[in-house]
Amino acid sequence: MVFIRKKKVSGKIYYYLVENKMVNGKVQQKVLMYLGTAQNLLNKLGSKNQEIVISDLKYFEAKQDRIYKDGAKKFHVVADFDKTLTKAFVNGEKMPSIISELRSRGFLGKEYSKKAQELFDYYHKIEIDLKIPLEEKKEKMEEWWGKHYEILIKMGLTKKHIKKVVDDGKIQFRKGVLEFLDLLHEKDIPLIILSSSGIGDAIPMFLKKINKNYKNIHVISNFFKWNNKGKAIKINEPVIHSMNKSETSLESFDFYKKIKYRQNVLLLGDGIGDVEMVKGFLYDALIKIGFLNDNLDENLQTYKELFDIVILNDGSFNFINEFIKKIK
């Protein structure tokens, strides 16, 4: 049996992780780990298990107050899809994005998987390297998405392949997302899902699968043109990749008139390019929430600078739902 034991040394209390074992009919105790003082223990647990970091509390509260004061009628939400609405890890294993699921599960054949993996290996490193300048990244991402679409179309992507990703794939929504979608629907708050997914056609299918294809949700992503046999023949332009979300002009969409005067905005993303989703929109109060799923030590400072709130360790939507519940 493993348990924590305290020991008083020179008037101070220290904690140890110990194990009791039966040896020759007698109990023997073995120290497995020195844990230090209660304060040491709290510091250690706090840095690893903390779920929410507020970058600037005063600033956040001021914006929050403004949003509550103006109410639901003045408010809308813009969210990324992959690893924002969906989980980043399941049982310690990295969870795929929609497109990586198509690649890794071989739904479109081995040759496609091989070619797509080669592109991923080369370009993903560039995508996540915070030291590479944005302009250079944009160019490379455009190249990646372009080459990838050529392959998808050449290999014969059909609607059925996408349906397989939705039905058989491992992708799971983050805890609290179903409630989040219900809350926005009940309060008639528009939700714009802006995704650079390689196969944006999957997003409405996912929403349908969980019975949340509500009218207040608008999906902006990369959609294919299909022939009458359900085969992809062309990708609609302009292509949205992970670094050009800022160039997506919301004004060109029908729903724009619904959000034009809802100038208080909640932005949800997990990538550094996601903070650009509201660029060009004239907002009053903007709260940006970022999910930092990976490389915590390396990336936390950058995320704190980019987002008002950072949710760590693949956290849930609980904080976001509590915030939305208070908007009347």
83 binds Mg ion (CB under 5 A): yes
How many angstroms separate the CA atoms of 17 and 207, rounded?
A: 46
- 201 is an interface residue for Mg ion by CB under 5 A: no
Nearest approach, Cβ of residue 210 and Mg ion (Å): 18
Window contacting Mg ion (CB under 5 A); options: 52-60, 67-75, 149-157, 263-271: 263-271
Give 203 or 235: the residue with its C-beta nearer to Mg ion.
203
The answer to whether 9 and 34 have CB atoms below 8 angstroms apart is: no
User: What share of residues in the chain are helix, strand, coil (percent, to 5)?
Assistant: 45, 25, 35
Least distance to Mg ion, CB of residue 176, Å: 17
* Residue placing its CB nearer to Mg ion in the complex, 174 or 212: 174
How many Cα atoms within 13 Å fall on the side-chain side of residue 126? 19
Q: Which residues contact 23 (CB under 8 A, 6 or more apart)?
A: none
The site for Mg ion, by CB under 5 A, has a size of 5
Contact between 270 and Mg ion (CB under 5 A)?
A: yes
Nearer to Mg ion, 192 or 327 (CB): 192
- If the CB atoms of residues 82 and 127 are measured against Mg ion, the closer one turns out to be 82
Cα–Cα dist 316/87, whole Å: 9
Stretch that binds Mg ion, among 22-30, 34-42, 51-59, 75-83 (CB under 5 A): 75-83
The piece of 9-17, 78-86, 111-119, 174-182 that touches Mg ion (CB under 5 A) is 78-86
Write out the E strands in 205-297: 217-220, 224-226, 232-235, 264-269, 286-292
Please, what is the minimum distance in Å from the beta carbon of residue 117 to Mg ion?
Answer: 19
Residue 80 found at the interface with Mg ion (CB under 5 A): yes
Stretch that binds Mg ion, among 54-62, 81-89, 114-122, 201-209 (CB under 5 A): 81-89
Answer yes or no: are the C-beta atoms of 131 and 102 closer than 8 Å: no
Nearer to Mg ion, 262 or 273 (CB): 273
> Which is closer to Mg ion, CB of 100 or CB of 264?
100
In the structure encoding, which two tokens stand for residue 327, read together? 């908007």
Q: Does 101 bind Mg ion (CB under 5 A)?
A: no
Residue 234 burial (10 A CB sphere; 0-12, 13-18, 19+): exposed
Question: What is the DSSP pairing of strand 75-79 with strand 264-269?
Answer: parallel
Q: Which is nearer to Mg ion, 82 or 314 (CB)?
A: 82
Q: What angle separates helix 110-128 from helix 134-154, to the nearest 10 degrees?
A: 170
Which of 63, 74, 78, 82 binds Mg ion (CB under 5 A)? It is 82
Interface residues toward Mg ion, by CB under 5 A: 80, 82-83, 270-271
